[in-house]
Amino acid sequence: MCGIAGFTHYDRRPRPERIWKITRSLSHRGPDQQDVWESPVVSLGAVRLKIIDLEHGDQPMISDDGDTVLVFNGEIYNHVELRRELENAGHRFDSRCDTEVVLRAFLEWDVDAFPRLRGMFAAALWTESQRRLVLVRDRMGIKPLYHARPGKDLYFGSEMKAILLHPEIDRTINSAALDRYLSVNYVSGSDTLVEGIEKLAPGHWLEWRDGRISDHVYWQLEFRPDPRPQPKDVQKLQPILHLVNRVVRIRDPDRIPHAARQQVPERHHAANRPRLLGPRVRHPQVQRIIEPL
């Protein structure tokens, strides 16, 4: 678990200690490394729990030319495949962490990189030459990302406390959200219990550019039921079983480089290693399909 936070300051310059105070409020999410990055327009902070590449990958992470800065929370399961694709495109990596893969993917494909990412993540990317801040959240909203829009600015964080530390934010209860919470023990949609603070929707990215904010969708679940009668042939399950096994494999802890795994006891890996679908299926016809996978 890591944490990110930041804010723009379109027509003012806050005291440097503000971003440090906000970042330290998230230190329980990332006890291994904390740092900030500031420019005249934006302040970014990150706290990191080191999992992949313990010696490298500190955040905020800055591009080689110093123009793009990334703060990232999450894990990209297909980072090995993306790294290979980016290396073939001419990128040279300084680490083995998935954070650098996200940064270089954004440099290569801009927001078109987001649909390529398979994982759970929340990130913010600042491009200095464009005075542009982009927030993005994973497809299912596994990783949290909150934001507020006071005036022409954008505040964000992995937890609401990172936003509530700003004196400009009014701590007013959102009555409609409170009603929903007391009814179903959850606040649905993009609302939170605080007026003016929202959750970035799953599968969305948000752009701030010189005081203008726009919200975009890069992925959404489409439910298209087929009204035609479906055959009961077990062979029809094969594409689904292939997909399930592929998803499980890319989450296998054995894919993490040995240097990052050696601090974790082997019994932890054995206990938590995902089991492929095959051995758990008892239906003989289905078993014959998945045994070769």
- Express each pLDDT in 261-287 by its tens digit: 444 444 444 444 445 544 454 444 444
What is the mean predicted confidence (pLDDT) over 244-250? 80
CB atoms within 10 A of CB 75: 21
In this prediction, residue 238 has a pLDDT band, given cuts at 50, 70 and 90, of confident
Distance CA 216, CA 114 (A): 11
Cβ atoms of 49 and 30 closer than 8 Å: yes
Q: Are strands 212-217 and 146-148 parallel, antiparallel or unpaired?
A: unpaired
Quick one: pLDDT at residue 184? 94
Quote the tokens at residue 18: 């503000």
CB atoms within 10 A of CB 3: 28
Query: Residue ranges per domain, the chain?
Result: 3-217, 234-290
Tell me: pLDDT of 37 over 80: yes
- State the first-to-last Cα distance of the chain, in angstroms, to the nearest integer: 32
Phi, psi dihedral angles at 161 (to 5 degrees): -60, -30
Q: Is the dihedral of CA 90, 96, 100, 102 positive or negative?
A: positive
Report the topology of domain 3-217: Glutamine Phosphoribosylpyrophosphate, subunit 1, domain 1 (3.60.20)
Quick one: pLDDT at residue 281? 47
Quick one: pLDDT at residue 269? 44
pLDDT in tens, 68-119: 999 999 999 999 999 999 999 999 999 999 999 999 999 999 999 999 999 9
Quick one: pLDDT at residue 293? 41
Which positions are annotated as active-site residues? 2
Quick one: pLDDT at residue 257? 53
Tell me: pLDDT of 254 over 80: no
pLDDT in tens, 7-33: 999 888 888 899 999 999 999 999 999
Cβ atoms of 46 and 35 closer than 8 Å: yes
Tell me: pLDDT of 45 over 90: yes
Distance CA 74, CA 217 (A): 19
pLDDT in tens, 187-201: 999 999 999 999 999
| Site of tokens 């992949």 | 52
pLDDT in tens, 117-162: 999 999 999 999 999 999 999 999 999 999 999 999 999 999 999 9
Question: Which of helix, strand or coil describes residue 65?
Answer: coil
